[in-house]
Amino acid sequence: MAFIDYYKVLQVDKKATETEIKKAYRKMARKYHPDLNPNNKESEKKFKEINEANEVLSNAVNRKKYDEYGENWQHADEFEKSKRQQKQYQGNAQQGGFGGFGSNGGGNYSDFFESMFGGRSNGSGRRSAQYKGQDFNSELHLDLKDVYTTHKRTLTINGKNIRLTIPAGVENGQVIKITGYGAQGSGGGPKGDLYITFTIENHTDFKREKNNLYATVALDLYTAILGGEITVDTFDGKVKLKVIPGTQNDTKVKLKGKGFPMYKKEGQFGDLYISYQIQIPTSLSEKEKELFTELSKLRTL
């Protein structure tokens, strides 16, 4: 895979601060987001590069490795380890402890490095290093209604269509790994993996906290005082509730099992919590005012 300059991708200087990198990422991500550029392959490719660049440059440890090793930054730890061992071998060779790695030996750093990682033969007697391919990262934007039920969805990543089964109950910010859908490995190494981050947008009247749902229901004054029966919305339909006489404002009622499905727990749901908001009547007629006045007098007796 061709080398990508992540600093150029985010249009920042190599000396950019963490804050500057975050600001640049947000700006670029908004510009090339798939929702704003539907069916645009170039924007999709650019959005993927932006996310990769942010993952590396926004992480201080990864950024340091990238600055030093460039396209091979993911193998920085292996390089460092091999260099330390190379120095050790050379030191021992100079003291007569090992043959073949001293100043008169036939070995060199490249040969040594290749021997360290158990590579496969390349036909000339040498063994090439095997590296796992680079991991890919992607975002999947869904509505809260989408993740109420298990469903399938097709993603296009680097020109490949991936058919996903998305379990009900996925949470905002949750990350799943799909093994083997990253970049091709080198030297016969395995492919990288694909990490998908879910962004769940809520356009409903319900508030979600883990597996529980919360909603506010308007209750007229007369039903609150006298009691009665009302119909309320749940996430998957309507139910009837009995209201006890004298219900106070902000009274909370729990509807067991009417919340959100639990992730990968078939048939299990959280609860729905209803808060009553009592509505005070306005624009009273003269007759209504008289009746309320009479009521107020009765309450003072």
- Give the whole-angstrom CA distance, residue 241 versus residue 255: 9
- Pairing relationship of beta strands 212-220 and 272-279 according to DSSP bridges: parallel
How much is the pLDDT for 124?
47
Sign of the Cα torsion 90, 93, 94, 99 reads: negative
pTM over cut 0.75: no
Residue 105 carries which side chain, given as an amino acid letter? G
Tokens standing for 266?
A: 């078939």
* CATH architecture for the domain at 207-300: Sandwich (2.60)
HSE-CB of 24 using CA atoms within 13 angstroms: 22
Q: Is the dihedral of CA 121, 127, 131, 132 positive or negative?
A: positive
133-202 matches 207-300 in fold: yes
Q: Give the DSSP per-residue string, 132-192.
A: PPPPEEEEEEEETTGGGS-EEEEEEETTEEEEEEE-TTPPTT-EEEETT-SPPPBTTPPP-
Question: Class for domain 133-202, per CATH?
Answer: mainly beta
- Euclidean distance between CA atoms 67 and 49, whole angstroms: 17
H or E segment to which residue 116 belongs:
helix 109-116
pLDDT of the chain along its 301 residues, tens only? 456 788 998 999 999 999 999 999 999 888 888 878 888 888 888 888 898 889 889 888 888 888 887 777 777 777 777 666 666 655 554 554 443 333 344 444 444 344 434 444 444 444 556 788 888 888 899 999 999 999 998 888 777 888 889 999 999 999 998 888 888 887 788 888 889 999 999 999 999 999 999 999 999 999 999 999 999 999 999 999 999 999 999 999 999 999 999 999 989 999 999 999 999 988 889 998 899 888 888 876 5
DSSP-derived secondary structure letter, 269: B
Helix axes 41-57, 60-69, angle to 10 degrees: 100
- Token pair for 260: 């959100």
Please tell me the distance from the alpha carbon of residue 255 to that of residue 274, in angstroms, as a whole number: 8
Q: Where along the chain do its domains lie?
A: 133-202, 207-300
